[in-house]
Structure 1
Amino acid sequence: AVPSSPAELPTGAAEFDPGAANRILLAGDETAAPAICAILEALDVATVGHVFIEVPTDADRLPVSAPAGVEVRWIARNGASHGVRMTDQVHAWASTVAAGPACGDAGELADVDVDEQVLWDIPAGDEPRPVYAWIAGEAGCVKELRRHLVRGVGLDRKQVAFMGYWRHGKAEN
């Protein structure tokens, strides 16, 4: 199923460009929750995929509509380290993805210093891809998840959009 085009998405969710992907993965922390909810509410009803949103507690879950084929999991940290529970869920999801060489060339991943550089890449949706992953939140966690999906699982780097919204322990300049 083809998700909605970026032009149909509300402001703030325009960085989502799945092209004609067969399925989607959305993952983020509470800073990404508003964008993820906007994306979910704008998806085509035939979209298939998984969503993992890590929030501080169960009380931080938000009501959201999603297509029937999209499983949404709100993951409460409940005192755990930031990103750990979401990372575990994405790793478990990734173990079910048929990737490898057939998905494309992983290519070189530049080693971004998340303490000094902005972690932000949105691949163009003009190439066919079986999976489109959109990851946003704390930069260190986002970097690790992208690295795992590309190097560990074998997704083509053009299948993974990622945005480091903030960095743990760093004030915004």
Structure 2
Amino acid sequence: MTTAVAAPFRFFSLQVVRTRRLGPSLARVTFAGPDLRAFHSDGLDQSLSLFLPHPGQAEPAVPVELGWGSPRSSAVESGGGWWHGWRELPDDVRAVMRSYTLRALRRDADGHTAEVDIDFVLHGLAPGSGIDAGPAARWAAGAAPGDRVLLLGPAAADNRAIRFRPPEDTDLVVIWGDETAVPAACAIVEALPAGTRARVWLEVPHADDVQDLPTAADAEVTWLVRGADGGPGAALATLRGAQLPPAEHPYVWIAGESGCVKELRRHFVGERGIDRRRVTFVGYWRRGLTEEQLREQG
């Protein structure tokens, strides 16, 4: 998943305050810290970048000017000027950077952000996954209160790293996401206002990953348990066979594995005739590639 970094973004020094296992493939980590008073987001699929420590490190290793408690330069406040310094650190020292979406935030009595939740997919750690666990999954599985991270996130409520933007005339919201998009999709569905018609498909590896999803909207939510036989074409076959309610101005949001997302976009635009300007599609990951490899490809 590629995070769109646009000013005003900045770094936030945070600590884990609690963790919760949501299922075999998903874990929720709650972060807090004084820096969050400057964290602002009105987005339901807000993209973030997390910097995580390697095993044995007390905190993520970043360039000195981004260190814990150090003065924040103008480059840091805008979220820029850090990339080259971070890349120049040795591979086994440099903080692990991974992209996520905000699951939820909670404010204090003064209206400032006090806590944020981020849901992690435990790739390679769930039973029968058949893949090697990555550094972020391993970190999340062992996260404990007091663990330190660095977050690159928004200091402005409306920013370019928010993708869910249905036009005002939308009369039907259609959503599909795999487990990497479940946090954003759930935040979106929970926030839909009463009377909003929505059809939602969420794909997860295990039945125990299915979550309760309260919403005031007129939403039909279908959880798809992928299992061992669920390949890249399963989502397309499901959506092709789905009957959507009639709508003059539908809006579609699809996110997850890049190849699957592209297939679904072609389905909605080419086969269902939905205006491409009303289809938001986000590739959070690509099958067979790490985030480092994706980043190198540009």
With the length of structure 2 as denominator, give the TM-score of the two structures.
Answer: 0.43
Work out the number of aligned pairs and report it. Answer: 138
Query: Residues 130, 61 of structure 1: CA spacing in aligned structure 2 closer, same or farther, 3 A cutoff?
Result: same
Q: What RMSD, in angstroms, separates the aligned Cα atoms of the two structures?
A: 2.2
Following superposition of structure 1 onto structure 2, how do residues 18-167 of structure 1 map, counting pairs within 5 Å?
18-20=166-168, 21-93=170-242, 95-96=243-244, 130-167=249-286
Distance in 1 between residues matched to 2:233 and 2:267, nearest whole Å: 14
Q: Residues 58 and 26 (structure 1 numbering): CA distance in 2 closer, same or farther, change over 3 Å?
A: same
Q: Is the CA contact 2:199–2:244 (under 8 Å) kept in the aligned structure 1?
A: no
Change (3 A) 1:153 1:166: same
Contact 2:177 2:201 in 1 (8 A): yes
Shift in Å, 1:49: 1.4
**Structure 1 position 142, deviation (Å):** 0.2
Which structure has the larger Rg over C-alpha atoms? 2
Q: Secondary structure at the match of 2:251?
A: strand
Structure whose residues are more often helix by fraction? 1
Structure with the higher strand share, 1 or 2? 2
SS of equivalent residue, structure 2 residue 291: coil
Report the equivalent of 1:111: none
The CA distance in 2 between the partners of 1:59 and 1:149, in whole Å, is 30
Task: Give unpaired runs (5+ residues) of structure 1.
Answer: 1-5, 100-128
Structure with the larger RCO, 1 or 2 (CA within 8 Å, 6+ apart): 1
By how many angstroms is 1:80 displaced? 1.9
Counterpart AA for 1:19: P
Output the TM-score relative to the length of structure 1.
0.71
- Structure 1's 8 and 136: CA in aligned 2 closer, same or farther, altered over 3 A? closer
Q: 1:144 to 1:97 in 2, by over 3 A?
A: farther
Q: Which amino acid aligns with 1:85?
A: A
Deviation of 1:138 (Å): 0.3
Give the superposition deviation at 1:8. 6.5
In the alignment, which residue of structure 1 is the partner of 2:290?
171
Distance in 1 separating the partners of 2:227 and 2:270: 30
Q: Distance in 2 between matches of 1:145 and 1:42?
A: 24
Do the aligned residues in 1 keep the contact of 2:265 with 2:279 (CA within 8 Å)?
yes
Unmatched tracts of structure 2, length 5 or more: 1-40, 47-100, 103-161, 293-298
